[in-house]
Amino acid sequence: MKYLCLVYFDGTVLDKMSETEKIAFDNESLAYDEELQRSGHFIAAEALESVKSAVTVRMRNGKISTTDGPFTETKEQLGGFILIEARDLNDAIQVAAKIPLARFGGIEVRPIWELEKK
């Protein structure tokens, strides 16, 4: 079953890191992606740019409205995702717990809804 691991964290934590710490953290994150590939869990992963570049889109009464930024005001913002294949929710939780950014924020694990064309 596929699970989406949504990576939420407070970006100020990374902003406070030295350049050396950022490089080491990026290398740790990339190494974990490689570990997921070897274990067969990995499907896709991407980091997102800052929420400052985000736009929220809504369609109401046939009209598009846009708002700069994310849809909520909070310290932790969606910073990326990892799409994994896991046996079940417990397996997905174990995989998500090892994502390096879990130490600074939270990882929302959500099953993928497999849509079937009828």
Q: pLDDT truncated to tens, each residue of the chain (118 aa)?
A: 999 999 998 888 888 999 999 999 999 999 999 999 999 999 999 988 877 777 777 788 888 888 776 655 567 788 899 999 999 999 999 999 999 999 888 899 999 987 777 7
3-state secondary structure of 97: helix
What's the DSSP call for residue 51? G
- Which runs of consecutive H residues, i.e. helices, occur in the chain? 11-15, 19-39, 89-97
Give the CA angle between residues 76, 79, 80 to the nearest 5°: 140
**Could you give the CA distance from residue 52 to residue 37 in angstroms, rounded to a whole number?**
31
**Could you give the CA distance from residue 8 to residue 65 in angstroms, rounded to a whole number?**
25
